[in-house]
């Protein structure tokens, strides 16, 4: 296969100017407030020893990808040491919270010749797994050259693959297993020229997540704050979602002045901007220990790890990342907790999930703050529905069986 010109340019540039990726990685590490002594991991330098025996390397870029691996990881960890890499500190925190005890974590190495070589020389994975996306050309090539069995898990439809088909065909042509979230994703991959023998559609791994267990202290605090008031939550919001959330809540308050919004931004650092934008409303900020009173109109939970408690408290949730370019967040977790799920229109990363839940009466996509306010008025006083049940547990077992056949 002839290497595409774009990949040739990439390999040449990152070989002669590796400082470009080094500089970007350092900035990202500092911006995420990750431990400074672990920056070397992004340069391929391990900070933990490799144990003897088989090792499975699983790369899950951030929180969403880690969530996709939650049900699968214990089955892998039974057969081999599990090493997980993430690109973000929030992904690292989530991995530590939900993956099996004993799982090793390192930050993702940059895709330079030296970092790739050092990472693989130290860890020598018997199986390399990439969750959903975040593939790097040099790493894919190095794994193929080493003869390491490699898999892409829970692949979804991708505009990037459609835009650069030859690049993705070269990266994926050596993969032993590619599991797809949907038949559409499988057809797209097959259209690239990927062999149908390595493509499997077992189901969406995210749908196999267990019902989220809420943090007990957060659940008690949220329920005490809500009392008997009409309540809705906005979870995992990004900057582009915030104006829509505030406009919808102001609209709700005009009709239901006693309503309370439980707001959990994706990144706690957004709290200052949210507070500034909501100056006309009574807001209590959880990280500052501000008490919720009968006058409070927003409880801003700018804390981490409390989404499960929000899902267990509010009967309807707006999921963020859906009015901007983030591509949405998984609706399966709140649906399993009994929430009705509302979202903006931009859910490319979870298009199949929202289509499924919409058909089954658990979710609605909306295109404006006005539509969001109308939907909230409808669903805010409803009790939690019977839990949405997934039939995707078989996807986990089938995926694990296929993968573990490559582990010595």
- List, for residues 315-371, the tens digit of each pLDDT value: 999 999 999 999 999 999 899 888 999 999 999 888 888 998 999 889 999 999 999
What contacts 204, CB < 8 A, 6 or more positions away? 154, 181, 182, 332, 352, 353, 392, 395
How would you list the strands of the sheet with 340-343, edge to edge?
283-285, 298-300, 260-265, 231-237, 316-319, 340-343, 363-365
pLDDT digit string (tens) for 229-272? 999 999 999 999 999 999 999 999 999 999 999 999 999 999 99
Query: Could you tell me the sign of the dihedral formed by the alpha carbons of 282, 286, 288, 289, in that order?
Result: positive
Between 338 and 1, name the one with better pLDDT: 338
Per-residue model confidence (pLDDT) at position 210: 73
Q: Worst-scoring range by mean pLDDT, 1-5, 74-78, 94-98, 296-300?
A: 1-5
* CB 185, CB 168: distance < 8 Å: no
The 3-state DSSP class for residue 52 equals coil
pLDDT value, residue 352:
84
CB–CB of 60/91 below 8 Å? yes
Whole-angstrom distance, CA of residue 335 vs CA of residue 341? 7
Are the beta carbons of 284 and 274 closer than 8 angstroms? no
Residue 360 to residue 371: CA distance in whole angstroms = 20
Residue 302 contacts residue 325 (beta carbons within 8 Å):
no
Q: How far apart (Å, rounded) are the C-alpha atoms in residues 71 and 204?
A: 11
CA of 88: how far to CAs of 139, 308, 319, in Å? 18, 21, 21
**What pLDDT score does 289 carry?**
95
d(CA 232, CA 226): 10
Mean pLDDT of 108-135: 97
What is the structure's pLDDT at 386? 60
pLDDT digits over 59-79, tens only?
Answer: 999 988 998 999 999 999 999
Residue 387's pLDDT band (boundaries 50, 70, 90)?
Answer: low
What is the pLDDT confidence band of residue 384, given thresholds at 50, 70 and 90? low
The first and second tokens of residue 223, run together, are: 């329920």
| Percent residues over pLDDT 90 in the chain | 81
Average pLDDT score over the chain: 93
| Residue 12 neighbours by CB distance under 10 Å | 10
Size of the chain in residues = 408
Contact in structure between 108 and 32 (CB atoms under 8 Å) = no
Residue 388: the pLDDT is 67
């Amino acid at each position: 296969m002839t290497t595409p010109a774009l990949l040739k340019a990439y390999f040449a540039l990152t070989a002669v100017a590796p400082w470009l990726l080094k500089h970007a990685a350092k900035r990202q590490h500092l911006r995420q407030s990750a431990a400074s002594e672990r920056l070397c991991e992004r340069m391929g330098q391990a900070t933990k020893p490799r144990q003897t025996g088989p090792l499975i390397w699983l790369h899950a870029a951030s929180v969403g990808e880690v969530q996709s691996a939650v049900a699968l990881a214990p089955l892998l960890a039974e057969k081999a040491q599990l090493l997980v890499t993430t690109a973000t500190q929030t992904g690292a925190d989530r991995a530590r919270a939900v993956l099996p005890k004993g799982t090793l974590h390192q930050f993702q190495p940059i895709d330079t010749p030296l970092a790739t070589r050092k990472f693989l020389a130290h860890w020598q994975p018997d199986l390399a797994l990439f969750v959903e996306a975040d593939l790097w050309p040099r790493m894919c090539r190095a794994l193929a050259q080493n003869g390491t069995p490699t898999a892409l898990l829970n692949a979804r439809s991708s505009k990037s693959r459609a835009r650069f088909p030859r690049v993705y065909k070269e990266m994926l042509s050596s993969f032993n297993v590619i599991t797809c979230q949907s038949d559409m994703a499988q057809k797209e991959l097959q259209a690239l020229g990927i062999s149908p023998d390595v493509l499997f559609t077992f189901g969406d791994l995210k749908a196999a997540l267990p019902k989220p267990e809420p943090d007990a202290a957060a659940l008690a605090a949220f329920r005490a704050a809500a009392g008997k008031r009409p309540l809705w939550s906005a979870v995992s919001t990004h900057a582009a979602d915030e104006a829509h959330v505030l406009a919808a809540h102001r609209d709700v308050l005009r009709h239901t002045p006693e309503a309370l919004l439980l707001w959990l931004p994706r990144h706690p650092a957004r709290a200052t901007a949210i507070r500034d934008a909501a100056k006309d409303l009574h807001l209590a900020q959880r990280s500052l220990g501000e008490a919720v009173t009968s006058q409070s109109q927003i409880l801003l939970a700018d804390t981490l790890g409390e989404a499960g408690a929000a899902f267990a408290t509010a009967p309807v949730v707006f999921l963020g990342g859906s009015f901007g370019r983030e591509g949405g967040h998984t609706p399966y977790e709140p649906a399993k907790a009994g929430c009705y799920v509302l979202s903006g229109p931009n859910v490319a990363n979870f298009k199949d999930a929202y289509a499924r839940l919409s058909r089954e009466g658990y979710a609605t996509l909306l295109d404006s703050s006005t539509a969001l306010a109308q939907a909230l008025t409808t669903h805010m006083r409803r009790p939690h529905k019977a839990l949405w049940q997934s039939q995707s547990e078989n996807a986990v077992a089938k995926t694990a069986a296929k993968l573990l056949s490559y582990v010595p």
